[in-house]
A = this chain, B = another copy of it.
């Protein structure tokens, strides 16, 4: 049952060293504030899951908190590579990182299977693809009706999932609108807890009957963090800070510049700074 908490308390109550954790968001509604809180609390040795790890996973990797990452596209969207991730993969800095790499189709299906309580996802995929040769978690099942061989991957079941959403009502039901990605699946697939940061609490979600609403009893904790997706965006609240994505390339390109940036913008801050960061981006 959803409890309204401060973000710091929600993180320390639910996330443990060594956990498997997802901070999901498909370009939209990426829970940056929550991930920054985890960085500040120094919770490490994590296995990170996300289809599209971008800046905030680059930051967690660069801070040495990540042991392993399950993903399908590790880039800075529209900009280029993730330089902290590269440094970890290519040079083992600040620590080596294990990877389990999939395609988007596989990850999306694996999230769906996780939400559906199944041990695996079955889909038509990976035909001729090199990942099938390097990832032992890509296997096959045979259709007992047609004999077709289909791809199978394990369901994704993190210990804890974090998402950012537009709003919650006072009972703790959460609404996500726009590009909804795999966030519902990430919440429902979490084994121990789903933690949601929201732009605001409202009396009435005002939701369309078929809108993406997560009932209060699917969520462990809700923290109000206006701007908590920045530099990602929140449909109906503020736009994407494309300039910040572009600027990240240079920051992450240098180990010293990266550490200095993290000190200034993450370690020395708190969740309350996000509201300020989106002030100029409000729609």
Q: Shortest CB–CB separation between residue A265 and chain B, in angstroms?
A: 32
List B contacts of A134 (CB < 8 A). none
Contact, CB under 8 Å: B142 / A141: yes
Q: Shortest CB–CB separation between residue A149 and chain B, in angstroms?
A: 11
Interface residues on A, range: 20 to 34
A interface: dominant SS: loop
Most buried by B among A144, A146, A150, A152: A144
Q: Shortest CB–CB separation between residue A165 and chain B, in angstroms?
A: 13
CB within 8 Å of B: which A208-236 residues: 208-212, 235
List B contacts of A124 (CB < 8 A). 117-118
Q: Shortest CB–CB separation between residue A126 and chain B, in angstroms?
A: 14
How far is A154 from B117 in the complex, measured between Cα atoms in Å? 20
Contact, CB under 8 Å: A154 / B150: no
Query: Is A178 part of the contact surface with B, judged by Cβ < 8 Å?
Result: yes
Contact, CB under 8 Å: A141 / B144: yes
List B contacts of A178 (CB < 8 A). 209-210
Partner of A120, one of B119, B146, B211: B146
List B contacts of A122 (CB < 8 A). 118, 122, 141
Binary contact track A38-69/B, C-beta < 8 Å → 1, others 0:
00000000000000000000000000000000
Contact, CB under 8 Å: A120 / B145: yes
Query: Is A180 part of the contact surface with B, judged by Cβ < 8 Å?
Result: yes
List B contacts of A143 (CB < 8 A). 119-120, 141, 152
Known: A122-B122, A177-B209. 19 other contacts (CB 8 A): A116-B123, A118-B122, A118-B123, A118-B150, A119-B146, A119-B148, A120-B145, A120-B146, A137-B145, A139-B144, A141-B144, A143-B152, A145-B152, A178-B209, A178-B210, A208-B208, A208-B211, A210-B210, A210-B211
